[in-house]
Amino acid sequence: MIRQPSAEEGGTRHMPHAANVEQGGRLKIHSLAAGAGDDFADDVRRGLGSARKALAPKYFYDELGSHLFDAICLLPEYYLTRAEAEIFACHAGEVVEEARRGAERVTLVELGSGSASKTRRIIEALLERQKHLTYVPVDISPAALEASAHALLGDYEPLRVSAYAADYDTALPRLSSELEDGARALVLFLGSNIGNFDRAEARDFLRRLRGVLRAGDRLLLGADLKKDGAVLEAAYDDALGVTAAFNLNLLARINRELRADFNLRDFRHLALYNDTEGRVEMHLESRRAQTVRLDALDLEVHFGEGERVHTENSYKYSLEELSALAAATGFSRARTWLDAAERFSSNLFVATDA
Ligand code: AVI
């Protein structure tokens, strides 16, 4: 998952590109991250000023939001993380065999690597088959990248890490310089992150990714499957209220960073499955008519009773839609693994000839 840098991680704007080399030359960190400060203010002004109020889900992930997301992944209702971990526990060897087919070596890239906990199974399976491995994680949070890179290097001696603290748009054009001749790329895009793009954005993103890959390179894409709406709504509206807190934290973040006076108790979390669009929508609904002041923006925003702020879409896929997505973006869906309950899919896309 792509996360925003927290205040502690620095509000530095447009950090110049710098590559720090550490850990006996085994770790390189490329800092390409731009601070989110003004973008956040501009996006909040635009989002709350539009006729259909909306806020971008990337802003969930400040420090508290990132912890709340980690807690969501432990919830009984949020099956996605466990299902993907189960697939890797059962099939990492096969995934890696398929990814390596016909290649001597693999370079592993991960988009939105976060804590990289599920990646360990893939790294281990690769290191059983090749002596050395270059791992190229990309995440917006320098702190998360550094922590996960140090942990992985401590645990896997033959590993070399070239990490990019950057958003996807900034990192994608840099990736080609990491793809060595003679080594196939295996790109991980896990955890249903693709679901937070709408369908056109998903196609656009995968086309841009395909543009930096070579024919035969692989993408392992985690995608949540379409299923009963009640199961999906429970996954995004858990009984403990953790997802509600995750959603409401967006207003708390606006209070903290933009000196606003949202009363969180005056809003409620909603998670609705939109069957026509095949997506779970999250909203924050105003419980009463109210006006909120955002001092840092010198802005007042009025909310009618029952008015909603749309905060996230999580698109769900059928296997046919995944094949069509692959075909439309320069890949073919070569293999798919499902968890035992068939709720989640890990899909090996192969980059086809241009
Ligand atoms: C990060 N992303 C894939 C999660 C999802 O399922 O869309 C974010 C999330 N939102 C609510 N719960 C989890």
The response to whether residue 191 sits with its C-beta less than 6 Å from ligand 1 reads yes
Task: Specify the pairing of strand 105-111 against strand 27-31.
Answer: unpaired
Atom of ligand 1 nearest to the CA of 246: 11
Residue with the smallest CA separation from ligand 1 atom 7 is: 314
For 105-140, give one letter per residue: b (16+ CB within 10 A) or e: bbbbbbbbbbbbebbbbbbbbbbeeeeebbbbbbbb
Residues facing residue 30 across a β-bridge: 19, 164
pLDDT at res. 125: 98
Average pLDDT of the chain?
Answer: 92
Atom of ligand 1 nearest to the CA of 224: 6
Confidence check: pLDDT of 10 > 80: no
Which of 5-19, 184-198, 318-332 comes out lowest in average pLDDT?
Answer: 5-19
Q: DSSP string spanning 71-96?
A: HHTTSSS-HHHHHHHHHHHHHHHHHH
Atom of ligand 1 nearest to the CA of 196: 7
295 or 25, greater pLDDT: 295
pLDDT at res. 38: 64
The response to whether residue 243 sits with its C-beta less than 6 Å from ligand 1 reads yes
Contact status, residue 37 vs residue 15, Cβ threshold 8 Å:
no
Of the pLDDT bands very low, low, confident and very high (cuts 50, 70, 90), residue 13 is very low
Confidence check: pLDDT of 12 > 60: no
Kind plus residue range of the DSSP H or E element containing 192: none
pLDDT at res. 94: 98
Percent of the chain with pLDDT over 90: 83
Residue with the smallest CA separation from ligand 1 atom 3 is: 193
- Across residues 152-169, what is the average pLDDT? 94
pLDDT tens track for 256-310? 999 999 999 999 999 999 999 999 999 999 999 999 999 999 999 999 999 999 9
pLDDT at res. 3: 45
Residue with the smallest CA separation from ligand 1 atom 2 is: 193
pLDDT at res. 115: 83
Confidence check: pLDDT of 21 > 80: no
CA distance 114 to 181: 27
- Across residues 214-230, what is the average pLDDT? 98
Tokens 């990192």 belong to 171
The preferred substitution site among 66, 69, 225, 226 for testing ligand 1, maximizing ligand atoms within 8 Å of CB, is 69
The response to whether residue 192 sits with its C-beta less than 6 Å from ligand 1 reads yes
Atom of ligand 1 nearest to the CA of 314: 7
pLDDT tens track for 106-148? 999 999 998 888 999 999 999 999 999 999 999 977 888 999 9
pTM, 2 dp: 0.92
- Across residues 83-100, what is the average pLDDT? 97
Confidence check: pLDDT of 246 > 70: yes
